[in-house]
Amino acid sequence: MILKLEEVHAYYGKSHVLQGISLQVAAGEVVTLLGRNGAGKTTTLKSIVGVVPPQKGKVLFEGHDMAKLPSHKIARQGVCLVPEHRGIFKLLTVEENLTMAARKDSAWTLNDIYRIFPRLQERRKNGGGQLSGGEQQMLAIARALMTHPKVLMLDEPVEGLAPVIVDEIVAQIRLIRATGMSIILVEQNLQVCTQLADRHYIVEQGRIVYTASNADFMADDHAKDRYLGVNLTA
Ligand SMILES: Nc1ncnc2c1ncn2[C@@H]1O[C@H](COP(=O)(O)OP(=O)(O)OP(=O)(O)O)[C@@H](O)[C@H]1O
Ligand SMILES: [Mg+2]
């Protein structure tokens, strides 16, 4: 297991949001965190990267507990979160955004990035603020790759994007997966989740209430209905 959470508890002030999250991700595996609004998906990702530090429990990365580490040290270990609201530099060009994020020892070069995201190459001299929403999302993921992560976490990467762009980003995430990257994906779009994931977790009120392989989950209308209130085939 590259990443393993054991009974992680986290709070916002007095509000006990994560109530014992346990999950694991194998090297090269893509898992999703599913669940209704407010279930604790984003908070789980934030607790892994130390932005919302766990008050109890373990976050084991390659066997070592990171739960007490500051977020910059966690990032340096190779755990990278692409947050929901992108956070790219609007006044810098696309290429500057990328080279700024690069780590000296990164296995990822600009050429590798441009092979996955040809649109970013076309737009490399454009300012980050001139990009479309989809291109900004691509740049946010590309920037994360430049930091040479071992675990990449994506929080709602296709939210609000047009279907053709969603398909493009799904194809790009597949290419990233093919490099052997371990990925945790939080996404409301179930079709996207089932196209990408090996396994799913469902979060409810700050706990994991269900896990299944992609095939088992796709066949399990009861789970989809009960925990998500959706039906994939509808
Ligand atoms: N900064 C914050 N301060 C206080 N409470 C927060 C904060 N962020 C989130 N919460 C609360 O924590 C709970 C979990 O929120 P979280 O953002 O993790 O949910 P989520 O599963 O990502 O939901 P969504 O699908 O809406 O993104 C919710 O009740 C939310 O209102
Ligand atoms: Mg969220």
- DSSP helix/strand/coil, 44: helix
pTM for the full model?
A: 0.95
| Residue of minimum CA distance from atom 3 in ligand 1 | 12
The residue written with tokens 């939080």 in the block is 186
Statement: residue 87 has pLDDT above 90: no
Whether ligand 1 lies within 6 angstroms of the CB of 40 is answered as: yes
For the segment 149-179, what is each residue's pLDDT rounded down to a tens digit? Answer: 999 999 999 999 999 999 999 999 999 999 9
Mean pLDDT computed over 185-189: 94
| Residue of minimum CA distance from atom 11 in ligand 1 | 38
pLDDT of residue 227: 75
| Residue of minimum CA distance from atom 31 in ligand 1 | 38
Q: How far is the CA of 131 from the centre of ligand 2 (A)?
A: 23
Statement: residue 146 has pLDDT above 50: yes
Q: What are the backbone angles phi and psi of residue 8, rounded to the nearest 5°?
A: -80, 125
The percent of the chain in helix, strand and coil, each rounded to the nearest 5, is: 40, 25, 35
Statement: residue 232 has pLDDT above 60: no
Statement: residue 182 has pLDDT above 90: yes
For the segment 12-69, what is each residue's pLDDT rounded down to a tens digit? Answer: 999 999 999 999 999 999 999 999 999 999 999 999 999 999 999 999 999 999 999 9
Mean pLDDT computed over 76-93: 90
For helices 94-101 and 133-146, give the axis angle rounded to 10 degrees.
30
Q: What are the backbone angles phi and psi of residue 65, rounded to the nearest 5°?
A: -75, 125
pLDDT of residue 233: 47
